[in-house]
Amino acid sequence: MTMTVEVGATTPRDSAVVGVPVFATGAVPRQVGLSRARLADLGLEAKPGQLLLLPAASGPTVIAVGLGPREHVSSRSLRDAAAGLARAAGGRTSVATALADVDVPGLSREAVAQAVAEGFGLGTYQFTEFKSAPTPSRLERVVLTASSEGRAAVERGARRGQAIAEAVSLARDLANTPPADLNAIDLAERAMVIAAEHKLDIEVLDELAMAELGLGGMLGVNRGSVAPPRLIKLTYAPRKPAATVALVGKGVMYDSGGISLKPSDGMHALMKMDMTGAAVVLATLSLLPVLKPNVKVIGFLCCTDNMPSGSAMKLGDVLRIRNGKTVEVHNTDAEGRLVLADGLSLAVEDGADAVVDIATLTGAVLGALGKKVAGVMGNDQSWVDQVRAAADRTGERVWQLPLVEDYRKLLDSNVADLKNVGGPYGGAIIAALFLREFVGDVPWAHLDIAGVMDSDADDGIFSKGATAFGVRLLADLLTHYEPVQAGSGVEAAVGP
375 contacts 368 by C-beta, under 8 angstroms:
yes
Q: How many CA atoms lie within 13 A of 263 on its CB side?
A: 3
Radius of gyration of the chain (CA): 23
Dihedral-angle region of residue 44 (phi above 0 means left; psi in -120 to 50 means alpha; beta otherwise): beta
Active site residue 160: no
Catalytic residue selected from 223, 337, 393, 419: 337
Question: What residues does 303 pair with on adjacent strands?
Answer: 230, 251
173 contacts 35 by C-beta, under 8 angstroms:
no
Nearest partner of 463 among 140, 100, 119, 129, judged by Cα: 119
- What is the Cα 105 distance to its own chain's centre? 27
Burial 226-265, CB ≥16 within 10 A → b, else e: ebbbbbbbbbbeeeebebbbbbbbbbbbbbbbbbbebeee
Question: What residues does 235 pair with on adjacent strands?
Answer: 201, 298
What is the DSSP annotation of 41-69?
A: HTT----TT-EEEE--SSSPEEEEEEEE-
> Which whole-number Å values give the CA distances from 458 to 80, 153, 201, 454, 467, in the listed order?
11, 30, 36, 11, 10
SS3 138: coil
Q: What gap in Å lies between CA 467 and CA 455, rounded to an integer? A: 6
Catalytic residue selected from 156, 262, 397, 464: 262
Active site residue 233: no
- Torsion angle defined by CA atoms of residues 53, 84, 117 and 102, in that order, rounded to the nearest 10 degrees: 60
Could you give the residue numbers annotated as active site? 262, 337
